C-alpha cells in the first residue's frame, strides 16, 4: 500500500460501527465490567495496545488515530499525547535517568531546550547542544553516559538540515537512543524509523490536525522502545480528549492533498522572496541555494509549507509596518493549518553551541492554502510598506 492509500484507509473499521465512515467519538472515563472474571482479564491485558480498561488509557477513538499513524510511520505502535511538547517530554523522561547525558541539536524547538535546561537539569541529566551540521562528527561528543541523541530537521526557525542516517548510526553504535522531531516533514515526506531513528515525534497540532483547532502529539516507535515511552506517558497521566483524537484522525485523511499544496505554494513564495532585493536569504531546504538542499533531496520526499526569510538590514518599525498591514498572513505561533502565517523570530537568542549570523531580522512564513498569487500580491504590498517606512525613517 502506498502512503496516500494508507492515510485514507488505515485505522478505520466502518463495519464495526454500522458502516459509518469515521470512527465514533467515545467520551469515557469509567469502563464497566459485567463480572469479576471480565475485570480480571482486562486488568491482565491492560498494557496491551487496544485494551479498553479506563478512559485515560484510550478508547476506540484513540486507537483509530494511533493505528493509522503507526502504519504511516512504519512503526509497531503510536501513542497519542496531549500536545507536541508532551510528545517530546514523554520519551525524554522515559529514557533519561539522573547521571545521564543527552546530545540535543542546537536548532531545536525552543520548549524542548527549556525542558532540558530546567526539569532535566534538576533531575541530574546533562545536555550538550550540538551544531545541526555536525553529521558523523557527533561521535566526538558521545560520552560513556550519553543515553539520548535528539534530532530535529529542519529546525522550525532556521531550517538547517541534519545528516540523520549518519547521526543515527553513530548513536546506535554507542548504545544511545535517537529521537527526532519530524513535525515539519510529517511521515509522508520523511520516515525517521526508516533512517535509523528509534523514536519519531510529531506535533500533530500542526499538519496532522491541519485546521488550527486542536493540540495533539504523537510518538511512534518499534516494540523495543515503545513500551517504555507508553509507560512514561501513562505514569505522568498524559491522556488526550476524544474530540482531539477524532480531529487528528480526520486531519490525517487529507494530509497528502494539503501538504502537496502547501509545498507548491511555499516553493513559489520562497523563489519569489529569493529574487527580492530586500531579502538576504531564504531558509527553505527545497531551494537549490539552501546549504541543506543536498541532504534534503537525498532523504526527504517533499517539503512542507514552513520556511524562513532573512531580510537585509531593516528596522523593527519598518518590519512592523510590513507585517501589520498583511491581509492574509496572520501573526501567531503554531502553523500547519490551512491559513498563511508570519512571525518575526529571533534565532540568535535560542542557541548556545552555534551563532546565528544574519545581517537583518529573520521572519518565519507559513504558506497556507490560499491562492499563491494572492499571497504574493500581499507580500509585495508588504515590501512597499517596508520601503516607505524605511524612507520615512531616514
Ligand atoms: C509546535 C511544535 C512543537 C510543539 O507542539 P505543541 O502541540 O504546540 O505542543 C514541537 N515541535 C515543533 C517543531 C513544533 O513546531
| Structural contact between residues 149 and 128, judged by C-beta atoms closer than 8 angstroms | no
Q: How far from 89 is each of 84, 86, 112, 217, 271, CA to CA, in Å?
A: 9, 5, 8, 11, 36
Distance 384 CA to ligand 1 centre (A): 33
d(CA 195, CA 176): 15
Is the domain covering 255-393 a CATH 1.20.210.10 domain?
Answer: no
- DSSP alpha helices (H): ranges in 45-83? 60-73
**Which residues are CB-neighbours of 102 under 8 A, at least 6 positions away?**
92, 96, 116, 120, 125, 126, 127, 128, 146, 147, 148, 149, 150
| Residues listed for the chain | 394
The answer to whether 151 and 162 are in contact (CB under 8 A) is: yes
> What is the Å distance from ligand 1's center to 85 Cα?
6
Peptide bond before residue 154 is cis, with ω within 30 degrees of 0: yes
334 C-beta closer than 6 A to ligand 1: yes
Report the CATH number of the 3-252 domain.
3.40.640.10
Ligand 1 site-directed mutation target among 109, 159, 192, 247, most atoms within 8 Å of CB: 109
94 C-alpha to center of ligand 1: Å? 19
Distance 84 CA to ligand 1 centre (A): 5
User: Are the beta carbons of 230 and 56 closer than 8 angstroms?
Assistant: no
Distance from the CA of 191 to the center of ligand 1, in angstroms? 18
For every one of its 394 residues, what pLDDT tens digit does the chain have, with 9 covering 90 and above? 999 999 999 999 999 999 999 999 999 999 999 999 999 999 999 888 788 999 999 999 999 999 999 999 999 999 999 999 999 999 999 999 999 999 999 999 999 999 999 999 999 999 999 999 999 999 999 999 999 999 999 999 999 999 999 999 999 999 999 999 999 999 999 999 999 999 999 999 999 999 999 999 999 999 999 999 999 999 999 999 999 999 999 999 999 999 999 999 999 999 999 999 999 999 999 999 999 999 999 999 999 999 999 999 899 999 999 999 999 999 999 999 999 999 999 999 999 999 999 999 999 999 999 999 999 999 999 999 999 998 887 7
pLDDT value of position 47: 82
Cell of 196: 535509523
Nearest residue (by CA) to ligand 1, atom 7, is: 84
Taking the CA of residue 203 as reference, the ligand 1 atom at the shortest distance is: 5
83 touches ligand 1 (CB under 6 Å)? yes
Contact status, residue 143 vs residue 171, Cβ threshold 8 Å: no
Residue nearest to atom 1 of ligand 1 (CA): 334
Phi, psi dihedrals of residue 393, rounded to the nearest 5°: -80, -15
Q: Cβ atoms within 10 A of the Cβ of 338, count?
A: 14
Structure confidence at residue 393 (pLDDT): 79
Give CB contacts under 8 A, 24+ apart, made by 41-50: 47/227, 47/230, 49/77
**Active-site annotation, residues:** 56, 109, 181, 206
Determine the pLDDT at residue 341: 98
The CA–CA distances, whole Å, from 13 to 5, 22, 251 equal 15, 8, 17
**Of 151, 153, 203, 335, best ligand 1 pocket probe by most atoms within 8 Å of the beta carbon:** 203
Cell triple for 265: 505554494
d(CA 204, CA 334): 11
State the pLDDT at residue 339: 98
Grid coordinates belonging to 74: 512504519
Query: Which residue, judged by its Cα, is nearest atom 2 of ligand 1?
Result: 203
Beta bridge partners of 199: 179, 221
Q: What pLDDT, on the 0 to 100 scale, is given for residue 50?
A: 83
Domain ranges in the chain are 3-252, 255-393
pLDDT score for 134: 98
Radius of gyration of the chain (CA): 22
Query: Ligand 1: does its nearest atom lie under 6 Å from the Cβ of 345?
Result: no
User: In the Cβ-directed half-sphere of 228, how many Cα atoms lie within 13 Å?
Assistant: 15
pLDDT of residue 319: 97
> From the CA of 277, how far away is ligand 1's center (Å)?
32
Question: Which atom of ligand 1 is closest in space to residue 217's alpha carbon?
Answer: 7
Q: In this structure, what DSSP letter does residue 66 have? A: H
How far is 232 from 88, CA to CA, in rounded Å?
Answer: 12
DSSP 111-132: HHHHHIIIIIHHTT-EEEEE-G
Cβ count near 173 (within 10 Å):
10
Q: Is the CB of 245 under 6 A from ligand 1?
A: no
CB atoms within 10 A of CB 277: 7
pLDDT computed for residue 227 by the predictor: 95
**386 touches ligand 1 (CB under 6 Å):** no
- On whether the CB atoms of residues 263 and 304 are closer than 8 A, the answer is yes
Amino acid at each position: 500500500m502506498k502512503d496516500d492509500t494508507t492515510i485514507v484507509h488505515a485505522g478505520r473499521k466502518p463495519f464495526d460501527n454500522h458502516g459509518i465512515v469515521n470512527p465514533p467519538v467515545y467520551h469515557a472515563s469509567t469502563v464497566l465490567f459485567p463480572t469479576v472474571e471480565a475485570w480480571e482479564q482486562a486488568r491482565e491485558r491492560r498494557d496491551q495496545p487496544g485494551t479498553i480498561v479506563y478512559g485515560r488509557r484510550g478508547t476506540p477513538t484513540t486507537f483509530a488515530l494511533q493505528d493509522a499513524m503507526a502504519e504511516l510511520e512504519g512503526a509497531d505502535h503510536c501513542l497519542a499525547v496531549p500536545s507536541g511538547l508532551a510528545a517530546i517530554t514523554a520519551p525524554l523522561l522515559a529514557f533519561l535517568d539522573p547521571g545521564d547525558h543527552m546530545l540535543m541539536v542546537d536548532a531545536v524547538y525552543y520548549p524542548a531546550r527549556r525542558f532540558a535546561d530546567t526539569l532535566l537539569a534538576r533531575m541530574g541529566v546533562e545536555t550538550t547542544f550540538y551544531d545541526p551540521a555536525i553529521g558523523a562528527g557527533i561521535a566526538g561528543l558521545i560520552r560513556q553516559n550519553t543515553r539520548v541523541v535528539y534530532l530535529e530537521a529542519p529546525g522550525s526557525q532556521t531550517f538547517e538540515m541534519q545528516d540523520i542516517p549518519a547521526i543515527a548510526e553513530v548513536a546506535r553504535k554507542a548504545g544511545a537512543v535517537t529521537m527526532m522531531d519530524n513535525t515539519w516533514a510529517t511521515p509522508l515526506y520523511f520516515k525517521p524509523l526508516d533512517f535509523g531513528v528509534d523514536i519519531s515525534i510529531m506535533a500533530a497540532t500542526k499538519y496532522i490536525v491541519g485546521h488550527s483547532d486542536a493540540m495533539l502529539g504523537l510518538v511512534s516507535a518499534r516494540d523495543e522502545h515503545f513500551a517504555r515511552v507508553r509507560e512514561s506517558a501513562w505514569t505522568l497521566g498524559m491522556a488526550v480528549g476524544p474530540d482531539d483524537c477524532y480531529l487528528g484522525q480526520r486531519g490525517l485523511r487529507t494530509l497528502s492533498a494539503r501538504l502537496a499544496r502547501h509545498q507548491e505554494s511555499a516553493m513559489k513564495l520562497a523563489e519569489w522572496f529569493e529574487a527580492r532585493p530586500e531579502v538576504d536569504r531564504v531558509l527553505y531546504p527545497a531551494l537549490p541555494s539552501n546549504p541543506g538542499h543536498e541532504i534534503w533531496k537525498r532523504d526527504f520526499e517533499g517539503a512542507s509549507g514552513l520556511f524562513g526569510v532573512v531580510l537585509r538590514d531593516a528596522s523593527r518599525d519598518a518590519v512592523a509596518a510590513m507585517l501589520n498591514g498583511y491581509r492574509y498572513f496572520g501573526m501567531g505561533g503554531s502553523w500547519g493549518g490551512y491559513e498563511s502565517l508570519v512571525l518575526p523570530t529571533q534565532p540568535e537568542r535560542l542557541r548556545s553551541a552555534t551563532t546565528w549570523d544574519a545581517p537583518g531580522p529573520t521572519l518565519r512564513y507559513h504558506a497556507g492554502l490560499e491562492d499563491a498569487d494572492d499571497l504574493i500580491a500581499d507580500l509585495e504590498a508588504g515590501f512597499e510598506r517596508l520601503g516607505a517606512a524605511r524612507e520615512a525613517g531616514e
